Every structure is written in C-alpha cells, then in structure tokens.
Amino acid sequence: MKIHKHKTLQRIGSCKMCGQCCKNLALEIETSAEPNGHSKAAAAKIEKQKEINKYIKKGYKDVEASRVTWLKGNDFKFTLTLTCPHLKGNKCVIHSNKGYGNKPDFCRKFPEYGVDRPKNCGYRFKRVLC
Ligand code: SF4
Ligand code: SF4
C-alpha cells in the first residue's frame, strides 16, 4: 500500500499581545463594480469609497485604500489599512468585555496564512507533513 504524505502549513507560536496587528489592520476586500453608466474605473472608485465610509462610520481610524487590482469581469480587489478603535492599552475591549466570540471575523481568524503579519508577530507558519 502506498501512503501519500502531503505538506501542509501549521501555525505555530503565540500572541505577544503587542497590539501591532490591531493598529495596522490590512483587510483585503473583494467586490464588484457595476458600471451603471459610469466607466469601470469610476464605478470601482465609488465602491471603494463606500467601503472606506463603512469603516469610518464604525469608528476605524487612519483608513486608507490601496490601488485596485482587477480580477474577472467587473470584480476587483484592494486593501484597506486601518487602525481599530477597540484597542485600549494593547488590549481588545471587545474581547475583554464581550468575549472572544464577539470579535470581528477577521480578528478571530488572524493570522491566517497569506495575510500580512507585523514583523515581530509571535506567530509564524511551518510546513509539516501529514
Ligand atoms: S476588534 Fe479587537 S482584536 Fe480586532 S482589531 Fe480591534 S482590538 Fe484588535
Ligand atoms: S501582531 Fe501577532 S503577536 Fe502582536 S498582538 Fe497581533 S497576533 Fe499577537
């Protein structure tokens, strides 16, 4: 019998509670631009601004958007960088007051492989055989 071994990535390490990931959030947004009489570029600009406004309304600070990368058809992606307003003294107020399960989805998943991490993050990814 042949046993096939696959390489997979395992997250190792632990959180140093440095708060850097919450101060430098980088969210990759994938969305679509329906031209509706505008050019594709103008429609993408409108969609981008909607996303920026959404996070500003939620209290996020230093919200900036990268350039657009076009995917298929009218689909495109860009990165939003922002500072979370829920960080107080390197502690997450949502986590402290409401529990881990109430944090935004992207915080509960962080750090996933392929998502940028601050340079001194306590986590890294290692290839393992399974
Ligand atoms: S909600 Fe909490 S864990 Fe998520 S970015 Fe803000 S402070 Fe960090
Ligand atoms: S950057 Fe890494 S070590 Fe620092 S708080 Fe975020 S997850 Fe923890």
Q: What is the pLDDT of residues 36-88, one digit of tens each?
A: 888 899 999 999 999 999 999 999 999 999 999 999 999 999 999 999 999 99
Range 84-110 average pLDDT: 93
Residue partners of 53: CB distance under 8 A and separation at least 6 = none
- Looking from the CA of residue 16, the nearest atom of ligand 2 is 3
Q: Domains in the chain: how many in total?
A: 1
Q: Tell me what the pLDDT averaged over the chain comes to.
A: 90
Q: Which of 128, 129, 130, 117 is nearest to 22 (CA)?
A: 117
Sign of the Cα torsion 97, 102, 106, 109 reads positive
Residue 70 lies in a domain: yes
Q: What is the domain range of residue 46?
A: 7-129
Give the Cα separation of 110 and 20 in Å (integer).
Answer: 12
Residue 2 lies in a domain: no
pTM: 0.77
Residue 63 lies in a domain: yes
**Ligand index nearest the alpha carbon of residue 103:** 1
- Looking from the CA of residue 90, the nearest atom of ligand 2 is 5
Q: Identify the band that residue 112 occupies on the pLDDT scale cut at 50, 70 and 90.
A: confident
Residue 51 lies in a domain: yes
